[in-house]
Structure 1
Amino acid sequence: MLDLNGNPTTSYDARLKIWSGAKEQSYYNDDLTIGQIIFRQLQSEPQRIFQISHSENTRLTRSQMLVNAAKVSEYLRQQGFSKETHIVGILARNTTHLAALGYGCMFNGTTFHAVNPNLDERTICMLFDITKPQLLCCDAQDYDKMRNVAKALSAKLLTIDGSIAGVKSILEVFKTTLPEDYKPESFDRGIDRTLAILCSSGTTGTPKAVTLSNSRKIFEAHSYLSLNDVQYAPSTLDWLTGLISLITAGVYGTLRLISKEPFSPAHFLTMCEQHSISWAIVAASHIAMLANNPDVNAKQLRSLRHLLFAGGHTLVATLEKMRSYLRGDGILRNAYGMTELGTCVSCNYSTHTKPSSVGRLMPNVRMRVVNETGESLGPNAVGELYCEHGQHWSGYFGNAVATSEMRDAEGWFHTGDLGYFDEDNYLHIVERKKDMLKFVGMMYYPHEIEEVIAQMPQVAEVCVFGIWNEIEGDAAAASVVAKAGCQVNARNVQDFVAQKISVDYKHLHGGVQIVPVLAKSANGKVNRHAVKAAYLKSVEHN
């Protein structure tokens, strides 16, 4: 529900100190899965173009997508995928047939576990070892990464984009014969069945597999979408925004635009001009890249009616510049959410008047602000944000302890974010309570890099932190204390990390300083904030 200015409505209960989004009733029966809902939508107007791949120059009609997805579903049935514990692993980019694989899993009620293809092989192995998929699907270019994983899990391999000799491809799956009376699988309370598993990490950096149900929350926040919309999201299926884009296109029948190329301002502008994108959800860093690109102009972006961004902080000046290229206020929106909740928690339609806010709460979402003693706080008081959405959550796959830490017995998710609500019921995020950082769209934990640096025989102590810029995010930087009598320099440390860590986003792009001591708190623990402050002060003076 929106107010007269087009913003979500949020109310505050001063007695309970709880903020609540509008109460709305779902249109869908609780027994339906999202796969069944999408199956019905794809049956209408079968010759209408459903998906365009800009990078591959392919087009698929609704009928073609429906048949391809149904054949994936039938193939899974023939392979014995009948239980909720039967899992398909996916490591893939946004190519032509990824959607059919995703929808096919949904049609069959088969959970898929999506992992980012840019991760290092060790992390990929750790993540898939949690869920132990029986079938692993990847692009041909990632076959070498996945071959060892498949062997360790005794899993079959399937290529989605490209082919490998001796490995089944999705094009062969599309040759599966469909029964004339084919229908998606149905279940009692399909809404509660696990739909997908995405990746997250705890404060220790240990990978966790986040289950997502067939909750309507994942798409109903975008019910304003229509058949005339052209949707685009650069994120792959392992990101919540990528999953939201896949599902909303299927539910609302929009035209789905994809590209396997990573986001760049030039690429995005070209697609906007050629395909008239009306809805896009991108990272906060992408907004900064666009706004500060000298080649951008309003004419290129005139088709945009909904430009959502999430996943980071954006400077007010950047928002103002970005808005100047759009057709009006309310197009540029800052969304806040988390994978565990499987939805946008809030959305700011008023970035022109409340640029530092992530907006008001979405329908059927409740939130509390809690201090360190567990006391609920009122407006303009900073505390940890607890969130509740009334939907089933199966927790972290195979990790009951972490599940109980994330969601308490009363159903409140402990987000780990510090924030507050202002007097107009707009939510503001102050900082992460946890140490997670994000650089060029990839999450990492400082302690992961600290453990590597600590392997250097010359190092006594180390503290890693993020140096933020709005284009790339938090570049890892380190303050290092050498052991007595040992010599170590910044280049030694940077080279050691680059040698030991295969992925570039965990390298020390923020720099290294050799210091005599690290700032510590009263209990003797390294004070990361104080160490970072000393680092920045030293850089400023130099």
Structure 2
Amino acid sequence: MFEIDASIGATYDADSKEWLGPKFVDFYDHNASVGRILFEQMRRCPHSICQISDSEQTSLTYEEALMQAIRVAEHFRKLGLTQRDIVGVVARNTTHLMAVALACFFNGIALHAVNPNLEEKSVKSLFETTKPKYIFFDGQDYAKVERATNDLETNLYTLSNHLSKVPSVKDLLKPTGSEHTFTPAILEDGPNQTLAILCSSGTTGVPKAVTISNHKRFFDMFHFLNSEDVFFVLSTLDWLTGLIMLIASIGFGAKRIITERPFDAGYFLKLIPEYKITFTIIAPPLLAVLLNHQSITVEKLDSLRYLLYGGGNCSTHIQQGFQKYLSHARMIFAYGLTEFEAVLTMNCKLLEKPQAVGRLQPGYKAKIIDESGKRLSAGEVGEICCQHSRQWLGYHNNNVATEAIYKTDGWFHTGDLGFFDTDGYLHVIDRKKNILKYFGMQYCTKEIEEVIVQMPHVTEVCVFGISRDDVGDAAAAAVVKIPGSSLNAPDVIRHVKEHFEATYKHLHGGAVIVEELPKLGNSKLNRKAIKEMFLSSQTRNSNTVF
């Protein structure tokens, strides 16, 4: 065994061909629930600001936030909810969502969060899987939620935009008289008990319900932050980043800024200086939008200490261009998956390794395998597999999907292709499903996207395959241009031809210029929807070329 970097303790075992992160030291009691830890932390800083909602213009101290959470938790107990029950939310980031989430954590009740932008059939499918006893939602989604749950024995409560005919979370915020004697519940199943149920990305169909356990890694994931930091993330609680930011901000005793408004570059650039935000997480496609926004300046991003991005590809062109607007903030590229319940790697040295997703975080293992399962060495491309010391509880009530990704030996099969370099940095090439074949020749969609996004007037791009019986997967592209630009589809096709000698990497499927690319709730590109949009444009969009 030899060390990759002794300063962080990362190692590579040449015999097993496994990469190992530094040793992990857990500072919390093994059996302490996430709810217990957050409860104690909130008591330590009662007068500090816990949460500010910009869209609702509300502010809560830790003392106020804790009191609200306790009251909801006590009402849950009076309603007869047990640790075998599930509470659902279909919600944006509004003021009282935190109280409901913390009440679940305090009581050991699993919180099932569903994205409010999902269509009705997906909401219905997810809740039919978990069958929550109570569901909290925003009033504007009443019709969708009511139809999606009318076959379930569940009780509906509004979180915002309250309705006269539906009970409200405010009914659960009334004083109980016993708030000061409240104590969090002891977990019946210990740290392996389900904390939350989130959504998989759903890029290839209906999202799956991903279980998240009561482990403590949420508290050390961003060890470089402290109580002076101001957190901001657009992700709702159904995404891992949204859950992590709620838990981590409270764990550090920091301030968290929320908004129910969707991403808008001008609004984002207004929030950063207004609240002196120091830490934010953003999806790579939004970096491109921000970089090309007319109002971006160094001054507007001056308060940032760290900007973390991940969940998709980010070209060196965009990465380096954005870095110029960060006077003293560090950009961090992170890689992980919801099913892993954590960030697997982080790259804090983008100038040295601009295309790497980083080194393994403490306590994690990884290996690269080929299609036969053979373990590969540094520099060899294969499927990325990862492992931690916890047992994953799987997709809720879906053993078939669980077994497809999580093997009996405890290894997660990510479905991503990549390799480790000799310095121990992981490089992600693409999703296995995005490796396509044209006349039997494999090509990577990411490689073509990297070339297109370097065009002067391009802000976003998505490349995918159009299946044809005679050739296989013909590459096609949907491109967003800078407003006012004269860029057209033939320009894109010509640019790709000029940069790739290999003809199978050309855009044989065509190109289309669009105003925006459909995205998922966490701002990742919705490749399925983009491809459907492209196909429908073949007969009606004159700016499509084949």
| TM class, shorter-length | 0.7 to 0.9
- Asked if 1:509 corresponds to 2:539, the answer is no
Aligned residue number for residue 41 of structure 1: 41
- CA change 1:158–1:381 in 2 (3 A) is same
Residue of structure 2 in register with 1:385 after alignment? 384
Alignment of 1:298-313 (within 5 A): 298-313=298-313
Say if 1:119 and 1:471 are closer, same or farther in 2 by CA, change over 3 A: farther
Moved more, 184-193 or 13-22: 184-193
**Could you tell me the percent identity over the aligned residues?**
37
Deviations 1:201-260 (A, max 9, x none): 689635321100011123321122211000000011111111111110111111010011
Letter in 1 for 2:534: G
Distance 1:58 1:6 in 2: 47
Q: Give the superposition deviation at 1:305.
A: 0.7
Query: In the alignment, what sits opposite 1:254?
Result: 254
- Report matched runs for 1:282-431 at 5 Å: 282-328=282-328, 331-431=330-430
Aligned to 1:131: 130
In structure 2, the CA distance between the partners of 1:27 and 1:513, relative to structure 1 (3 Å rule), is: same
Q: What's 2:182 paired with? A: 182
Residue 358 of structure 1 deviates from its aligned partner by 0.6
Q: Deviations over 1:308-328 (max 9, x none)?
A: 011111111111111111124
Q: 1:165 to 1:514 in 2, by over 3 A?
A: closer
Structure-1 residue corresponding to 2:477:
467
Q: Cα–Cα, structure 1 residues 5 and 377, in superposed 2: closer, same or farther, change >3 Å?
A: closer
TM superposition shift of 1:31 = 1.2
Structure 1 residues 513 and 160, CA gap change in structure 2 (3 angstroms): closer
Change (3 A) 1:271 1:464: farther
Counterpart residue type for residue 264 of structure 2: S
Deviations 1:340-374 (A, max 9, x none): 01110101101122111111111101000000111
Q: 1:279 and 2:279 equivalent?
A: yes
Corresponding residue for 1:167? Answer: 166
Contact 2:87–2:135 (CA under 8 A) maintained in structure 1: yes
Say whether the 8 Å CA contact 1:337–1:345 is kept in structure 2. yes
Q: Does 1:242 align with 2:242?
A: yes
Which position in structure 2 is the counterpart of 1:198?
Answer: 198
Instruction: Tell me, yes or no, if the aligned pair for 1:288 and 1:470 is still in contact at 8 Å.
Output: no
Tell me the distance in 2 between the aligned counterparts of 1:61 and 1:428. 42
Distance in 2 between residues matched to 1:413 and 1:75, nearest whole Å: 39
**Alpha-carbon contact 1:313-1:470 (below 8 Å) kept:** no
Inter-CA distance 88–434: structure 2 relative to 1 (3 Å threshold)? farther
For the 8 Å contact 2:83–2:188, the answer to whether it is kept is no
Pick closer, same or farther for the CA change 1:214–1:100 going to 2, 3 Å: same
Paired position in structure 1 for 2:149: 150
Root mean square deviation, CA, Å: 3.5
Count of residue pairs the alignment pairs up:
476
Amino acid of the structure 1 residue aligned with 2:367: R
What is the SS of the residue equivalent to 2:208? strand
Instruction: Note the C-alpha offset of 1:46.
Output: 1.0
- Asked if the contact 2:83/2:110 (under 8 Å) is kept, the reply is no
* Residues 167/370 of structure 1: CA separation in 2 closer, same or farther (3 Å cut): same
Q: Tell me, yes or no, if the aligned pair for 1:211 and 1:396 is still in contact at 8 Å.
A: yes
* One-letter amino acid matched to 2:387: E
Contact 1:87 1:134 in 2 (8 A): yes
Q: TM-score, normalised by structure 1?
A: 0.81
Paired residues of 2:291 and 2:318 also in contact (CA < 8 A): yes
TM-score of the superposition, structure 2-length normalised?
0.80
Deviations, residues 178-216 of structure 1 (Å, cap 9, x unaligned): 524111111256321100001126896353211000111
Q: Which residue pairs with 2:495 in the alignment?
A: none
Cα distance, 1:328–1:201 mapped onto 2, change above 3 Å: closer
Instruction: Quote the Cα distance in structure 2 between the aligned partners of 1:51 and 1:375.
Output: 49
Q: CA 1:512/1:157 → structure 2, altered by over 3 Å: closer, same or farther?
A: closer
Please identify, of 120-129 and 205-214, the stretch whose mean Cα deviation from structure 2 is larger. 205-214
Partner of 2:120: 121
Give the structure 1 partner of residue 439 of structure 2.
none
- Residue 77 of structure 1 pairs with residue 74 of structure 2: no
Measure the CA separation in 2 of the matches of 1:6 and 1:72.
Answer: 48
Quote the Cα distance in structure 2 between the aligned partners of 1:241 and 1:87: 21
Deviations, residues 453-494 of structure 1 (Å, cap 9, x unaligned)? xxxxxx9x998987365899xxxxxxxxxxxxxxxxx9xxx9
Q: What is the Cα deviation at residue 263 of structure 1? A: 1.6
The 3 A distance-change label for structure 1 pair 184 and 317 is same
Residues 302, 328 of structure 2: 8 Å contact kept: no
Mapped partners of 1:4, 1:394: distance in 2: 32
Gaps of 5+ in 2: 436-444, 447-461, 483-509, 519-525
The one-letter amino acid of 1:144's match is: A
Listed as ranges, the gaps of 5+ residues in structure 1 are 439-443, 451-458, 473-489, 516-537
Give 1:401 shift: 1.9
